[in-house]
Structures are given as structure tokens and as C-alpha cells.
């Protein structure tokens, strides 16, 4: 590999990280001039429809990345400064989005500039961290490709599962016109679990891997401990985050299951979803997003970083389930999903047994379905139901 050249009177010229950071900071700068939201800007400047504050922060980040790229600024200082100012752009974008909901509960209008500037700033900060850690060019591009591939794997698994699910449910819908959406939901859920399993088998075949790649073994006392502890932590995490959002006045979005249950006269379809939580939802999603996506990321990242990246992909895939006209409600809920995924991913990382996150995930969902049924009907189903 070619050695880095030294700019006259400066630090060694750097490689891919500052260059990529420069591009991202530049994108954030341009996006700061585009329309953001219908809410008043923190600092109003004529000619800037987005955020003058974000534009100033992005300009400093762009200049710093440029100095790093040309070897005019040392890595320890340059990476920290560039990272802080890039992250500040993301913070300004998030604050601009969330502020209308605090206290007043208003729903902001979101234009194209805000998400572009926020994401570019966030990714710019991540690249600055890579620069500060002196990640080589080869390793950086390997990790970028791994993140893209893992995200695509997650979405591909979801698409395959939906195709299989609808293929399974279409027959009873044709045979019986009375077979409505609520009756179809458990069948869709079972079909989705089957689809996720088939997707995993296809992934193993494509990569030439055997069934021993699937980390399933009889649980020992250590696995039982992680299962019980993880279940406690996941409920505690969900409660704390939800409580915090409530205190801040931030809305959350209802899932498609809850919306459907509230619309039908008798949400009996929730009852079969309870066993399906352990038989289809937990096994299918954990098989793909832990044993495929997270384990794939082990090849390019530390295991803890892989847990984080896989959790981002897991939350992103749930976008359709919590789609809402209120962007704050949707993002708040997806953040909760992300936090819960961290618990599932960490339990898999520590136990190396897929049955642990399957148990945690399935039990969490089963209790939610049971509680929702009891809440909507006022009844506790008996074992004979």
C-alpha cells in the first residue's frame, strides 16, 4: 500500500476517512440551505431556508476535514474538531425536528433538507471517529461495504418474508370472501416466520455455509440467566424510554397490530399471536437479524459495534410497522425498537445461543399481545380459549 505523502510544513496527508468526511460535511452544508421544516429557525438568515446555525457548523466541519485531507492538521486535533462540528449539525437537525412537540405537541412539516443534513452530519461524525482511530483505507471501505450489505440483507429478509406471507394467506382469502384482515393476520405472521427461515437457508446456501452456522444449542444455566436477565432488562428499557418520552411530551406511534385491534369489534386475532410470538416472530426475526445480519457484521467490526449496527438495521426494517404521518412519533418509536434490539443483540453476543434472544423476543411480544387483548376487551382469556 502506498505510504501517505507529507504536505510541506504539515502533518502527513491522510486517506479515505477525511475525504469521505469532507464529502459528507459538504452535503450537510448544502442541505442546510435547503428547506427544513415549517417551524421557525433558531437563527434566521435571509437566503437560507434551512438552518443558518447548521450551515455554520457544517462549514467548520468541511474546512476541518479539508485540512485533514491535505495534511495541514494533525489527526488527534482534526478528527475531534471535525467530529464534534459534524455531530453538532445532526443535533441541530434533531432539535429542530423535535422542538415543536415539546410542550405544545405540534407536528412539524419536514422538508428534504432536514433529514439529509442530519444524516450527513451523523455519518460525518462516525467517519471522524474512524479517522481518529487511524482506521486504514482498506478497513474503512470494508466496513462501509459491510454496513451497506448488512442493511440490504435486513431489508431483503423482510421482503422475502412478506412475499411468502402473502403467498400463504392468498389461498384462504380466495376460498372464503369472509376471510378478512383480522383473520388473516395470524396466517401472515406464521407465513412471515416461514419466509425468514427460508431466507436464512438461501443465505447459507449462497455463502456455502452449513446448518452448523446457526447458533442453536440446548441452553445451560448461563443461557437461562441471560434469558431471564435479558427479559427483565428489555421491559425495564422499554418502560424507561417510554416514560422519558412521555415526560418530554414526545408522541409515539402505534404498531399496525394495535391499530387493527382497535378497529375491529372483537380482537380475537390477538390470541393466536401469543403462541406465534415464540413459534414464528421470535425465531424468524432473531434468525435473520442476529444469526445472519449481526453475525455477518462480526467479520468486519468488533462484536459490540456489530450489535449496534445490526440494531440500527433492525429498527429501520420496522419502519413500515410504525409508519405515521407524525415523523416525531415514528422516530420515537423506532428509537425504542432500536434500544430493545440492543438488548437482544447483546444477549446473543454474550450467550452465542440463538435460543436466548428468541426467548426474550418471543416472551416480550407475547406479553404485549396478551396485555393489548386484555386492555381492549377487559377479559383475561382462559386456557380453554
Which residue range forms the structural domain that includes residue 107?
16-135
Largest CA distance in the chain: 82
- Tell me the per-residue pLDDT of 50-67, one tens digit each, with 9 for 90 and over: 899 999 999 999 999 999
Considering the domain boundaries, does residue 385 fall inside one?
no
Do residue 118 and residue 205 come from a single domain? no
Q: Is residue 9 part of a domain?
A: no
Residue 384 lies in a domain: no
* Angstrom distance (rounded) from CA 359 to CA 314: 17
pLDDT tens by residue, 302-356:
999 999 999 999 999 988 888 778 888 889 999 999 999 999 999 999 999 999 9
Q: CA 64, CA 81: separation in Å to the nearest integer?
A: 7
Q: Which residue has the cell 412521555?
A: 246
Q: Are residues 28 and 154 in the same domain?
A: no
The verdict on 230 and 160 lying in the same domain is: yes
Neighbours of 353 (CB within 10 A): 21
* In a shared domain, residues 98 and 187: no
Question: Could you tell me if 385 and 271 are in contact, meaning their C-beta atoms sit under 8 angstroms apart?
Answer: yes
Cα-only R_g, the chain: 24
Choose among 356, 193, 210, 215: nearest CA to 291. Answer: 215
Quick one: DSSP state of residue 322? Answer: G
Domain membership of residue 7 (yes or no) is: no
- 3-state helix, strand, coil split of the chain in percent (to 5) is 75, 0, 25
Same domain, 215 and 89: no
In a domain, 2, yes or no: no
CA 84 vs. chain centroid, Å, equals: 23
Tell me: do 130 and 256 sit in the same domain: no
Domain boundary residue among 105, 135, 165? 135
Q: Which of 135, 162, 188 is the last residue of a domain?
A: 135
Do 99 and 165 belong together in one domain?
A: no
Tell me, yes or no, whether 131 and 149 share the same domain: no
User: Is residue 194 within 8 Å of 167, Cβ to Cβ?
Assistant: no
Q: Are residues 120 and 189 in the same domain?
A: no
Residue-by-residue pLDDT tens, the chain, 385 positions: 333 444 333 444 458 999 999 999 999 999 999 998 766 666 677 667 889 999 999 999 999 999 999 999 999 999 999 999 999 999 999 988 888 777 666 777 888 899 999 999 999 999 999 999 999 999 999 999 999 999 999 999 999 999 999 888 876 766 666 666 677 889 899 999 999 999 999 999 999 999 999 999 999 999 999 999 999 999 999 999 999 998 888 888 888 889 888 888 889 999 999 999 999 999 999 999 999 999 999 999 999 999 999 999 999 998 888 877 888 888 999 999 999 999 999 999 999 999 999 999 999 999 999 999 999 988 765 544 4
**What does residue 279 show for φ and ψ, rounded to 5 degrees?**
-95, -25
Question: For residues 370 and 272, what is the distance between their CA atoms, to the nearest angstrom?
Answer: 10
Together in a domain, 23 and 119: yes
H or E, element range at 89: helix 75-98
How many structural domains is the chain composed of?
2
What is d(CA 173, CA 237) in angstroms, rounded to the nearest whole number? Answer: 39
What does the alpha-carbon distance between residue 55 and residue 216 come to, in Å, rounded to a whole number?
Answer: 50
**Bridge partners of residue 37, in order along the sequence:** 110
Last residue of one domain, picked from the residues 90, 107, 135: 135
Number of H helices, E strands in the chain: 14, 0
Q: Are residues 294 and 150 in the same domain?
A: yes
Would you say residue 382 lies in a domain? no
Q: What is the pTM of this model?
A: 0.89
Residue 244 lies in a domain: yes
Q: Is residue 108 part of a domain?
A: yes
Amino acid at each position: 500500500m502506498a505510504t501517505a505523502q507529507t504536505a510541506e510544513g504539515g502533518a502527513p496527508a491522510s486517506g479515505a476517512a477525511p475525504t469521505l468526511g469532507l464529502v459528507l460535511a459538504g452535503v450537510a452544508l448544502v442541505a442546510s440551505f435547503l428547506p427544513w421544516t415549517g417551524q421557525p429557525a433558531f437563527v434566521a438568515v435571509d437566503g437560507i431556508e434551512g438552518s443558518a446555525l447548521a450551515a455554520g457548523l457544517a462549514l467548520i466541519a468541511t474546512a476541518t476535514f479539508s485540512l485533514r485531507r491535505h495534511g495541514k492538521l494533525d489527526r488527534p486535533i482534526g478528527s475531534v474538531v471535525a467530529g464534534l462540528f459534524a455531530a453538532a449539525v445532526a443535533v441541530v437537525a434533531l432539535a429542530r425536528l423535535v422542538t415543536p412537540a415539546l410542550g405544545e405537541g405540534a407536528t412539524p412539516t419536514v422538508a428534504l433538507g432536514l433529514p439529509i443534513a442530519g444524516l450527513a452530519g451523523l455519518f460525518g461524525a462516525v467517519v471522524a471517529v474512524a479517522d481518529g482511530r487511524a482506521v486504514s483505507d482498506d478497513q474503512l471501505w470494508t466496513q462501509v461495504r459491510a454496513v451497506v450489505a448488512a442493511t440490504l440483507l435486513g431489508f431483503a429478509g423482510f421482503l422475502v418474508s412478506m412475499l411468502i406471507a402473502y403467498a400463504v394467506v392468498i389461498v384462504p382469502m380466495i376460498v372464503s370472501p369472509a376471510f378478512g384482515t383480522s383473520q388473516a393476520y395470524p396466517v401472515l405472521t406464521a407465513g412471515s416466520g416461514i419466509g425468514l427461515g427460508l431466507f436464512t437457508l438461501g443465505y447459507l446456501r449462497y455463502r456455502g455455509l452449513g446448518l452448523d452456522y446457526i447458533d442453536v444449542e440446548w441452553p445451560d444455566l448461563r443461557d437461562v440467566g441471560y434469558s431471564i436477565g435479558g427479559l427483565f432488562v428489555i421491559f425495564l428499557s422499554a418502560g424507561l424510554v417510554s416514560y422519558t418520552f412521555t415526560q418530554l411530551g414526545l408522541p409515539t406511534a402505534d404498531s399496525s397490530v394495535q391499530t387493527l385491534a382497535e378497529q375491529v369489534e372483537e380482537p380475537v386475532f390477538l390470541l393466536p399471536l401469543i403462541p406465534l410470538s415464540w413459534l414464528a416472530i421470535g425465531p424468524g426475526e432473531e434468525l435473520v437479524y442476529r444469526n445472519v445480519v449481526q453475525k455477518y457484521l462480526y467479520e468486519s467490526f468488533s462484536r459490540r459495534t456489530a450489535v449496534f449496527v445490526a440494531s440500527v438495521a433492525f429498527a429501520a426494517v420496522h419502519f413500515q410497522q410504525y409508519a405515521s404521518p407524525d415523523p416525531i412519533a415514528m422516530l420515537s418509536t423506532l428509537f425504542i425498537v432500536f434500544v430493545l434490539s440492543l438488548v437482544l443483540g447483546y444477549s446473543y453476543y454474550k450467550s452465542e445461543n440463538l435460543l436466548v434472544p428468541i426467548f426474550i423476543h418471543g416472551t416480550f411480544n407475547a406479553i404485549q399481545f396478551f396485555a393489548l387483548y386484555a386492555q381492549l376487551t377487559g377479559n383475561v382469556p382462559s386456557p380453554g380459549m
